[in-house]
A and B are shown apart, each in its own frame.
Chain A
Amino acid sequence: MAIIHFSEISKSFPHGFKRQLALKNLSIEVNQGEVFGFLGPNGAGKSTSIKLLLNFIKPDSGNIFIKGLQVGKDNFQNLIGYLPETPCFYENLTALEILSFCGRASKLDKKTIRDRSFDVLKKLNLETAAKWQIKTFSKGMKQRLGIAAALLHDPDIYIFDEPMSGLDPIGRHLITDVILELKDNKKTVFFSTHILSDVERLCDRIGVLDKGHLLFSGEINQILNQGSTLEDAFVQLIKINQGKNNVAN
């Protein structure tokens, strides 16, 4: 059974007096234990898909299921760890306080929170900043704290929205190691990105999105029929889709 299942999802947003289509009939399945990369150019609908997955917004049609639980009807938040595109926290709180909040919200006890907080902060090179206020954190530190918050309650499913965004090479290397470790632990990771080198290293399967349409969903070696490298294949897919759109217009 698919652990994450998008079923014919469509979503549009108001644009003046009209509505602009963000997603059309999106159907994706992510299996347990796999790392699924969600690719697409800017404005493809990747973040929209993730917001729908987390019930921040509601689809115009279709359903989304996480481990059999329907998003929008059943409670599923304890099953997932989420990293937003730009993690933001209350600026006057410390990293430990943020993690304490996240742990308590996920119904962990105090001892577990304390032990795990230090573990995740150490894993993400934030142990020295544990008692600093967030307003003193750099962008990269906030990104890593966001991942720490997602890891804290050790869920089975991780949803990361552009996890490498704004990180320096060392930070990116760190996040990559984290995702590989999750993969080894048979966790399911669903992440969106437009950095293809990360996808090649990390992903079991990928989905390619452009202008709200799913162009491809499957293993990486399948997409390589479109081009010699992932980048070529990706660009080729996008060009074909944009050509189709131009003809349709």
Chain B
Amino acid sequence: MSQISLVAKITFKDCIRTKGLYGIFLLGIILFAANIIFTGMFSFEIGKMAVDMGLSVISFSGLIFIFFFSIQSFFNDFEKKTIYMIISRPISKAEYIIGKFSGLGLVIVFSSLVLGLCAAISFKLSVMDHEAYIPQHFTWSFFFIAILFLTLSLLIMLGISVLWTCATSHQFIGFLLSLMTYFIGHNMETVKNMILSTKIFPPDALPIKTINFVSWILPNLAVFDLKTQAAYGLMPDFVSLVWIALYGLSYIGLCLIISIWIFNRRELA
């Protein structure tokens, strides 16, 4: 466990000092400022708009970090042979993978915290003179729960990226596969419901079966998207939230274990 925390610590330190990361934070701050300006252009739904925008910025920043920093961080380790510094020590490949994931995950959690606070402040400022436009059932607790689940979905994407990175030999392929997983993960539920509702295919048709199969392999990221519910204060029950969290954590665990199995067989030539 201490070896994992060592790798996590140096990964976190290395990432957090990257100047590019400051660009993401700057982007977040600019978008939050824009949030305040945008909401002023509306005559209704100001509260919903502010929450939508704030949570979307957190999601967007997290995704940029995963697609452009995390994947690159792994491939840099392989290509520049930085990994030799680590696994020539008494640190197993499994500890490296979990440590690396933990370090990058900590960066995501940290950025969610910072941007979450910015989102809360920009929401407060946006609706300051328009208290009537705050949705009736809006609560701060659910706002932060939505951020928590948003962060969990980013960690799932990170786990997926780690898996694709271990499985592929080229950075760009790893990036494409992660991006594809993100899009399918967010839209497969909508597509399935669309196909079922229009009744074009019978329930046992091949497209339905394919989507069902895919839903067991790729993560259903739509369940973690609580932005709209947070905007209107439509909090699901506690038990549902627990199952969703368990689903996310178990999926991350599976991704890491499969990544370890693949990586153990990978040669660092």
Contact = CB atoms under 8 A, between A and B. Distances in A.
A76 B85 CA distance: 15
Given A13-B269, A57-B268, A77 B14 contact: no
Contact of B13 (A48, A87, A93): A93
A98 B85 CA distance: 9
A57 B90 CA distance: 16
Contacts of A77: 87-91
A105 B80 contact: no
Contact of B89 (A13, A56, A97, A106): A106
B85 A149 contact: yes
A88 B85 contact: yes
B18 A92 contact: yes
Contacts, number: 74
For chain A, which range describes its interface: under 10, 10 to 19, 20 to 34, or 35 or more residues?
Answer: 20 to 34
Given A88-B80, A105-B3, A57 B267 contact: yes
B88 A106 contact: no
Contacts of B9: 101
B241 interface: no
Contacts of A87: 85
B90 A75 contact: yes
Contacts of A98: 85
B14 A88 contact: no
For the complex, would chain B's binding face be called helix, strand, loop or mixed by DSSP majority? Answer: helix
Interface string B169-209: 00000000000000000000000000000000000000000
A236 to B, nearest CB: 31
Interface string A104-141: 11110000000000000000000000000100000000
B165 to A, nearest CB: 17
Contacts of B11: 90
A231 B14 CA distance: 45
B84 A107 contact: no
Interface in B10-41: 10-11, 13-15, 17-18
B10 A90 contact: yes
A86 interface: yes
A33 interface: no
A57 B87 CA distance: 12
Given A77-B89, A88-B82, A105 B6 contact: yes
30 contacts: A13-B269, A48-B269, A51-B268, A57-B267, A57-B268, A77-B87, A84-B81, A88-B81, A88-B82, A88-B84, A88-B85, A90-B10, A90-B11, A90-B82, A91-B14, A92-B14, A92-B17, A92-B18, A93-B10, A93-B13, A93-B14, A98-B85, A101-B6, A101-B10, A102-B85, A104-B6, A105-B3, A105-B90, A105-B91, A106-B90
